[in-house]
Amino acid sequence: MTPERAVLLLRISYRKPEDEDEGQMSDVERRRAEFSKGIGRQEEDARALAKRLGWTIAKVIPEDDTSAFKRRKIKLPDGATALRTVRPGFRAALEGLASGEFDGLIADDLDRVARDPRDIEDLIDVVESRRPRIPVESVTGSLRLANDADVTMARVMVAVANKSSRDTARRVGRKHEELASEGKPGGGGFRGYGYSTEGHAIVEDEAKILREIGDRILGDWEGWAPEQRAKIDPEMGESLNSIAADLQRRKVPTVMGVAWSGRSVGSIVSKASVAGLRSHKGEVVGKAVWDAIIPPERWERICERLAMRAGDTDLTLQRWLNGVLRCSQCGHLLSGSHGNGGPRYWCDRKGGGCGKIAVKASFVEDEVERQVLELLGKPRVLEQLRTVADTDTTDEARAELAADEAQLKELAGAYARREVTFAEYKEARSIIEKRVKESRALLTSRAPMVLRRLLAGDVAAGWGRLTPADKREVVLSLLPGYEVLPHDRSYGNKFNPARLVPMDWPKPDA
């Protein structure tokens, strides 16, 4: 039987390098050109084969940027979840063959059709559902299912291809882990904004733009005109879309030469690489071998500010008493939420709370602010806080922290020289990092940097310039938090400050 309605299945995959910049992904033109050439070659060769065989092609199904190996978690028709390759084009070809819409299949090669045993079995089931079997051919001759011998060979070859893909994935993943542990670039992809391709040297013109974006997000950019500054909320900074529009108006070039967008602005400034840090699989794993454009501490504030604006997280992080207020009924932390009367703090049942305590956000925030400023206005308190970082305990913690950080570097060097195995390296690193975390927590709890900055000048004015997260850090450096008592109905709708009970509030002399 010579097919008169054959389907031509074409596929090309694209492996995204680990350090590829999502904000600069508008090189769609390059990827389309690459895809077009690869698919074009496959289609040209397959049509030539169809002509030699006397087949008629009814439809061409291209699979762009599609892996025949990588699996994702999907929901099956029976409601269960399973790991499967996600290939709509391949499934459409199978459905067409099963329904009779197509009466033959042509592809470039076996591995263009399947690299997962489940996929080849599904194709075999469809091919063998007809008598005679549905014809299947490939340009390279690697895929034929005309008899049992062909089917067996296809199964073996797919198993071998699958093993090859697994080996490659393991080697590439292991190499990226090694590079990340050494703080080296991952390689491949497009150069990150602010750095050169070779040597990761800083491109100063782009570095200035990155620092400017960070300043505008944090609300302390010196380039605003007075009337512009008046429109900026110091707690939220300038919007990403506004920054993008200004960069576009000034004709500031991007890496790929495409237009700026709010997404690309946020992407380039939030990458760990700009802070001289190395990330792997979305997590910062240590210091990078290249120099920072934005200091790590400032970069963390920028990322925190961006997180405050992001979807559902926005409300939670705006409410700076999250982690400070506790329910007096069940001891659960109150969280920021929206109630009928606007923003509030509530013992959320969904988060494991009892739902019995709620308080209007503006009332409680104003009262805590009043109490904090009153406390910081006492001379004796200021004296104690300004010297708290100079105690023997703090000095000892600093020394231990420095020693542990030096040991981490030595450990990374030992691993790079193959003196320890990866398992030994991971175990030792986890132990040292735990000590580092504890030392840093002690230093932060005794005199956080934001508190030291606040005490260095006019406390009241400095408080007004703090971000919500910084305000929370100041409060938690002064006391463990507040218990919130139930509302006393005798007060009507008024807020009773007595509902806030400080936990272990310091009692220095005034």
440-483 confidence digits (pLDDT tens): 554 444 445 666 667 767 888 888 888 787 788 788 877 788 99
Classify residue 322 as left (phi > 0), alpha (psi -120 to 50) or beta.
Answer: beta
Give the helix ranges, DSSP H, for 199-287.
204-218, 226-230, 240-249, 262-270
Residue-level pLDDT at 26: 39
pLDDT band at 382, cuts 50/70/90?
A: low
Whether the pLDDT of residue 365 is over 80: the answer is yes
| Both structure tokens of 100 | 């009779």
**438: amino acid identity, one letter:** E
Query: Mean pLDDT lowest for which of 99-113, 256-270, 451-465?
Result: 451-465
| Both structure tokens of 127 | 């091919």
Distance between CA atoms of 317 and 337, rounded to whole angstroms? 10
Does residue 453 contact residue 462 with C-beta atoms inside 8 Å? yes
Once rounded to an integer, what is the mean pLDDT over residues 348-360? 82
**36: amino acid identity, one letter:** S
Distance between CA atoms of 499 and 480, rounded to whole angstroms? 16
Closest CA to 59 of 114, 108, 4, 110: 4
Whether the pLDDT of residue 22 is over 90: the answer is no
Residue whose token pair is 């929206």: 338
Average pLDDT for the chain: 79
Distance between CA atoms of 369 and 358, rounded to whole angstroms? 19
Domains of the chain: 6-179 (3.40.50.1390), 204-310 (3.90.1750.20), 317-503 (no CATH)
In the chain, what is the greatest distance between 2 CA atoms, to the nearest angstrom? 100
Distance between CA atoms of 261 and 280, rounded to whole angstroms? 25
Does residue 100 contact residue 84 with C-beta atoms inside 8 Å? no
Distance between CA atoms of 336 and 14, rounded to whole angstroms? 42
| Both structure tokens of 51 | 């002509």
At 190 the three-state DSSP class reads coil
Buried-state track 316-352, b at ≥16 Cβ within 10 A, e below 16: ebbbbbbebbbbbbeebbbbbbeeeeeebbbbbeeee
pLDDT band at 256, cuts 50/70/90?
A: confident
Whether the pLDDT of residue 287 is over 70: the answer is yes
Distance between CA atoms of 81 and 207, rounded to whole angstroms? 46
Does residue 139 contact residue 108 with C-beta atoms inside 8 Å? yes
Query: Mean pLDDT lowest for which of 50-59, 68-77, 192-201?
Result: 68-77
